[in-house]
Amino acid sequence: QDEVTLQLKWVTQAQFAGYYVAKDKGFYEEENLDVTIKPGGPDIAPEQVIAAGGADVITTWMAAGLAARERGVPLVNIAQPFKTGGLQVNCLKSAGIETPEDFPGHIMGVWFYGNEYPFYAWMASLGIETDGADENGVSVIKQAFSADPLIQGQADCISTMTYNEYGQVLDAGITEDELVTFNYLEMGFGMLEDGLYVLEENLEDPEFRDKMVRFVRASMKGWKYAEENPAEAAQIVLDNDETGAQTLEHQEYMMGEVAKLTEGSDGTLDPADYEQTVKTLLSAVSAENPAITKEPEGAWTHDITDEALK
């Protein structure tokens, strides 16, 4: 069996259900692979891990992947299980926000750690400054981990994932009609989320390519299985969560939402989505948004997915 190490971008949760399902259901084994899945966390940059040789393949958002590429870690997208993105901004209507024009003067929670690029691109296109709350600017805070800032009233808008924090907001008793939701994709600042990335130089090795082909094939099989059997997938994720902190209820919710994002993808990257991501990133290059400064080249390949889907 060939060994493959996969570094996730975040902790074990249904966001990565496909991989856990593939492992648990023996899809990897069928491909003669022995896959180790390493959970991530806020302190882990998968790009750094793969550069140091700690993983063969990582999941990350394309913005971070392209940024790493510019900084000398030549990552290549080999598959894109997430067709659409789940990143959105939720604001409280009670804070007086209905449309983006209402933002100035408010506090907005943003995820940093490589996730901040679409936000800055969006603000740049709206002409809203991000240096403090006044008539033409917003005050940005680095939002950590959870949906707390909105629930606790520390921010008027926060970043959420449809499949995670949004659910936590609703759980906390804030109803959907108390909220305004801005979806980055719908606003044209979409950015490809969880994709699979490897180091460019490794792809030159046919043995490695072959491994990746099998890996992607099995992973996609896992994803499709998870979409069809959300309850079972959630349970598998729960079984793989070593912290023992996850609840089945929340993972089932998450699986349901994640399935909506993976639904349209067979793993093949849609170049149009790639173009939109690059456009978003390039649209507001600044000190706060140094993701990429020039059009990347060779940042993706269809070779693996083509081979895998044959």
Partner 1 sequence: MRTILPVAVVVAAIVAFWYLAAIPMNIHFAVTSAQRAGAEVTPESGAERRNMGAIALAARNPAQWTDSWTQAKPRLPVPHQVVAELWRTTALQHPASKQSLVYHGWVTLSATVVGFAIGTGLGILLAIGIVHSRAMDMSVMPWAIASQTIPILAIAPMIIVVLNSIGVQGLIPKAIISAYLSFFPVVVGMVKGLRSPDAMQFDLLKTYNASRSETFWKLRLPASAPYLFASLKVGIAASLVGAIVGELPTGASRGLGARLLTGSYYGQTVQIWSALFATAILAAALVAIVAGIERATLKRMGLAT
Partner 2 sequence: MILIIAALALWAIMWTVNVRLANGESAGTSTVRLLVPLLFGLTLLAMWELVVRGLELPIVILPAPSVIAERVAGSGPTLWVDFKQTFLKGALGGYAIGCTAAFLTAILVDRWDFLRRGLLPVGSFVAALPIVGTAPILVMWYGFDWHSKAAVVVLMVFFPMLVNIVAGLQDTTQMQRDLMKTYAASYWQGLFKLRLPAAMPFIFNGLKISSTLAMIGAIVAEFFGSPIVGMGFRISTSVGQLALDMVWAEIVVAALAGSAFYGVVALIERRLTFWHPSQRR
Contacts to partner 1 by CB under 8 A:
11-12, 38-45, 48-49, 52-54, 94, 144-148, 151-153, 168, 171-173, 178, 241-247, 250
Among 1, 32, 34, 113, binds ligand VIB (CB under 6 A): 113
Number of helices (H) and strands (E) in the chain: give both, helices first: 13, 10
Contacts of 47 (CB under 8 A, 6+ apart): 58, 60, 64, 65, 67, 68, 73, 75, 197
Asked if 79 and 216 count as a contact pair (C-beta separation under 8 A), the reply is yes
- Among 144, 147, 183, smallest CA distance to 164 is for 147
Contacts of 98 (CB under 8 A, 6+ apart): 180
Distance between first and last Cα of the chain: 22
Q: Is 113 a residue that touches partner 2 (CB under 8 A)?
A: yes
How many residues sit close enough to partner 2 to count as binding (CB under 8 A)? Answer: 35
Asked if 44 and 58 count as a contact pair (C-beta separation under 8 A), the reply is no
Asked if 240 and 24 count as a contact pair (C-beta separation under 8 A), the reply is yes
Between CA 171 and CA 185 the distance in angstroms is 24
Residue 194 binds which entry of partner 2, ligand VIB, partner 1, none, with Cβ cut-offs from 5 to 8 Å by kind?
ligand VIB
Residue 9 binds which entry of partner 2, partner 1, ligand VIB, none, with Cβ cut-offs from 5 to 8 Å by kind?
ligand VIB
Q: Is 68 a residue that touches partner 2 (CB under 8 A)?
A: yes
Residue 243 binds which entry of ligand VIB, partner 2, partner 1, none, with Cβ cut-offs from 5 to 8 Å by kind?
partner 1
Asked if 184 and 85 count as a contact pair (C-beta separation under 8 A), the reply is yes
Q: Which residue type sits at 80?
A: Q
The DSSP H or E segment spanning 59 is: strand 57-60
Name the one range near partner 2 by CB under 8 A: 141-149, 183-191, 200-208, 262-270. 141-149
Among 42, 264, 271, 298, binds partner 2 (CB under 8 A): 42
**Positions in 145-204 near ligand VIB (CB under 6 A):** 145, 161, 164, 193-194
* Minimum distance from residue 14 beta carbon to partner 2 (Å): 23
Q: Which is nearer to ligand VIB, 191 or 213 (CB)?
A: 191
Q: Is 290 a residue that touches partner 2 (CB under 8 A)?
A: yes
Among 11, 95, 133, 141, binds partner 2 (CB under 8 A): 141
By the criterion CB under 8 A, which residues form the site for partner 2?
A: 42-43, 45, 47-48, 51-52, 64, 67-68, 71-73, 110, 112-116, 130, 139-145, 148-149, 152, 154, 287-288, 290-291
